[in-house]
Chains A and B, each alone.
Chain A
Amino acid sequence: MKVLLLGVNHKTAPVSLREKLVGLVPDLGQAYGTLMDWPEFSEVMLYTTCNRVELLGVTAEPEAARLRVQAFFTRPPEITPEALAESLYVLEDQDAVQHLFRVAASLDAMVVGEPQILGQIKAAYRTATEHRTTGPILNRLLHKSFSVAKRVRSETGIGDQAVSVSYAAVTLGRKIFGELTGKNVLLLGAGEMAELALEHLRGQGVASITVANRTLARGVQLAQRFGGEAVSLEELEPQLLSADILISSTGAGDYLLTRDQVRSVMRRRKQRPLFLIDIAVPRDLDPAINDLDNVYLYNIDDLTEVAEKGMEHRRREAAKAERLVAEETLKFQHWLTTLEVFPTIIALKDKAEAICRAELKKTLSQLGALTPEQHQALEVLTSSITQKLLHDPIIFLKRNHHSKQTPRELDLVRRLFRLESAEPEEAQESEAGDYAEKN
């Protein structure tokens, strides 16, 4: 049994190929209709994230399985086998496990540490369990990957700091206002950066968005896009009374707001905090405004620095996360090998023998003196009882050597006979995995 992972991501495939592959599986549910019929795979799961399409499976025939997946991926005529072969990576066992852990922990992402990927994999796993295509190995592997991702998130600082200018503005806003829900945003001018920041702020649930633009028509257009209201630039000061966050990006050349203007506004606002983001070059807002109490002014350079520091921090933390992933990969690999048939049979026999020896010792000490023949007869008796008892389970295990069911049965046998006492914590998790699968 091998864990097999095949796929393409942003590092190996151009976006043109990735989008075609994503188009191939517009609805994961439909794809499972095909996947479930593949005899090579005993367990299979398909997932796509923003930058990847990957298929994860458990198979006894990796070569045949690989051909099967390649054929599946090249089904649409616009994907040529050559193009796919160039981009497709095929990983087995330890490499596959490590890859999945890295994807779930967002170490393989375009922007390392972005949290959405875990959610996408969780959703894909849910779809797979709904189609009952996962089994004990994938269930455990996926649950493990979720816990690895969680550990990475909580034990390293990989997601702590903003790495984009627009998101840096959001994190700063949160440190000033706590929650951004219910805050009012005023946008001066427009531009890509301002719109990105606005997108993030909207995601945080701001109450209202007002757009002030030199040309009202353009302002109205923008306001419509963001579901806000348009005002003219002359109304700036009265608008500031109700705004909490101001994003300015006109780059007009003169200061739109001076220190004295903001000071008088602050008095009328009863000192409610004001967060000013000036992403225009040349600057729109007088830098001296930052000296005022309860006013926080950040310009584009300040925000870029925040983002760069965040990136640097993230890179350092990613190295820690890689160590963690390597460690967990080894642990999982160890569990995989214990799932093989023969180690299970040996463990079963060992356990029976140990019980025999212990019980025999107890009885012999109670019986007193015995002749060597009697002694031997007792030994033969106990060992033949256990052998006969274990005969059928062992035959059962051996007979099913290549069945799809093997991992599930091995797992059951190991739990039935408690052959995993060394790892009680892991055994529990495996149960949780099976439970999730049943539901």
Chain B
Amino acid sequence: MAHIFLYLTLAGYFGATILWLGFFLRQRESYCRWGAWVMGGGLAAHTLALIQQTVQVGYLPVATFSNTLLVFDWALVAVFLLLNWRYPIKVLGALVAPLAALLASGALILPQGEGTLSPLLQGFWLTLHITLTLLGYAALALAFLGGIFYLVQERQIKSKKFGFFYRRLPSLSQLDTLNYWCLSIGFPLLTAGIVTGSLYAQRTMGRFWSWDPKEILTLSAWLIYAVLVHERLTVGWRGRRAAWLAICGFLVLVGTFVGASLWLTGYHSFAKFIQP
């Protein structure tokens, strides 16, 4: 029973995956409308699951890799649905829905990790740090997916060979606007995440920055995005270059999230969070 909301979430995301892939293949408007509703249902269940866990353990469940994956998944779906409502690029759902379903399955399959969280890692500021960072990740993940679509579509138009994707993908300008939208949401969130994190570190450990592997990688990703934002605003970088930078930036972020959390040592690694 404890996992009922999680299973509902999973069902919602897999259902949305089927609908959205159906939309991608058959191009029926109604499929993607339903896809959005089913995904919204999944998100509601997901929210309830997170609330349930938070109430149970007393803090936002981000102490283990699988828990964090689940929270990131929530952020991804939430940001996507927000985007889909404000600025619909329907076909993006065909990538986001399967990704959300996979992440949720991963979170259920991976070891949960038992134990108590050190009191140092509890508190409002830390929760804020994590929430902001993960929301930023989610927006930048959408920029990454949009970037892939952009490169595929641009290749087709440039090479004048129109294949399977040409008809199904949106116009270049829409995909480029998506990049801009995600960047203008994701970059401030990521920045705010870094700032709140270092303020918290100053309060608890006495220093803003400790050159921990995760911090270094995040900083390099932040620099990539900073270059992109700067060039977009000044010289008007767009299109292919913007897509490539969004892809590179996100790959580094994945490195910080997966690599630095699991393999590299540092105080940001999940292994250090839990006291058995």
Contact = CB atoms under 8 A, between A and B. Distances in A.
Interface string A168-195: 0000101111100000000000000000
Interface string B174-192: 1000000000000000000
Interface residues on A, range: 20 to 34
Nearest to A296: B157
B153 A294 contact: no
Interface stretch (A93-101, A210-218, A228-236, A268-276): A268-276
Contact of B166 (A175, A270, A272): A175
A309 B162 contact: yes
B33 interface: no
B61 to A, nearest CB: 41
A306 B162 contact: yes
Contacts of A160: 167
Nearest to A299: B160
Contact of B173 (A178, A267, A293): A178
Interface residues on B, range: 20 to 34
B241 A293 contact: yes
B157 A271 contact: no
B235 interface: yes
A51 B133 CA distance: 63
Contacts of B171: 174-178
Contacts, number: 52
A49 interface: no
A322 interface: no
Of B171, B238, B241, most buried by chain A (CB within 10 Å of CB) is B171
Given A290-B158, A296-B158, A302-B160, A178 B235 contact: no
Nearest to A305: B160
Interface string A256-285: 000000000001011111000000000000
A296 B162 CA distance: 14
A273 B157 contact: no
A298 interface: yes
B162 A273 contact: no
Contacts of A161: 167
Interface of B: 28, 153, 157-158, 160, 162, 166-167, 170-174, 235-241
Given A270-B235, A273-B239, A306-B162, 8 more contacts: A175-B166, A176-B172, A177-B171, A178-B172, A178-B174, A269-B236, A298-B160, A305-B160
